[in-house]
Amino acid sequence: MRAALIQCLVSGDKERDVQNAAARIAEAAKNGAQLVMLPEMFCCPYTNRCFAAYAEPVGGSIYTAMQQAAADNGVVLVAGSFPERRGDKIYNTAFAFDETGAQLARHRKMHLFDIDVAGGQSFKESKTFTAGDEVTVFDCSLGRFGICVCFDMRFPELSRCMTLRGAQAILVPAAFNMTTGPAHWELMFRQRAVDNQLFTLGCSPARDEKGEYVAYGNSIVCSPWGTVVARAGAKETILYADLDLGDNESIRAQLPLLSARRTDVYELKEIKG
């Protein structure tokens, strides 16, 4: 399977960014990509100021453009994430589409990015977004995949839930910043790959040093052994990786972490005395 991670710049012009994403999807497909992924907020500046203004319902212009891009190019598309409006709520939502443009999955970011790092980044997604509450795994022509969005990947329980539901790879539209990216980006993707013995793929926006929120870039693909298969730099690019999902079972047979779990004792118990 050839995967393509589109590390695109976010200009702030929604229509322009959607058109750029569609052009990059077509380019990836011409280069043999079967699975294509876009970053978190690929067509919306990553600020609370923009989230509500850019929000659209299912069936809006962003959604239909991504459906069409998947169908036009015959790829499985994880369409990054964008602000999804549903009634009076707004979600940070990732949609996946099959080769015909039919929706495969919807993941609403479960863990909202509310942080305050001393001397670094401070941000509160919860000022705008409502948290999702579903573990998202979907089947397609290429296999079974899990999706989560950015900060979700920091929580090992979620990755394990996707793994136990049969995910062969975890696909993560994300937008780490220049505080958290250098510290944890590669470490996190490699560790989730090692913990669950599957592929992990993280797709970031390209870095815009003049932007209000400066993304780290460095889109990444890690193997079930924890090896970095491919990694981008800071600039706009398409990162390709050829993956054999059969490697999961090969690694699990050699190092039986999942089958050796002690589920009979994995619980919190009150200690008396």
Neighbouring CB atoms inside 10 A of 165's CB total: 12
CA distances from 129 to 1, 49, 123, 146 (A): 34, 12, 12, 22
Catalytic: which of 43, 44, 148, 150?
150
- Residue 244 and residue 224: Cα distance in Å, rounded? 10
Residue 127: half-sphere exposure toward Cβ, Cα within 13 Å: 13
Annotated active-site residue 150? The verdict is yes
CA distances from 98 to 56, 63, 152 (A): 21, 13, 23
Q: Which two tokens stand for residue 228?
A: 């970095």
- Residue 35 and residue 38: Cα distance in Å, rounded? 10
As a residue count, the chain comes to 273
Catalytic: which of 40, 56, 84, 125?
40
Hey, is 1 helix, strand or coil?
Answer: coil
CA distances from 262 to 29, 81, 161 (A): 43, 36, 16
- Residue 134 and residue 166: Cα distance in Å, rounded? 16
DSSP code of residue 271: P
Q: Which two tokens stand for residue 130?
A: 């409502």
Annotated active-site residue 140? The verdict is no
Annotated active-site residue 249? The verdict is no
Catalytic: which of 109, 125, 148, 222?
109
Residues taking part in catalysis: 40, 109, 150
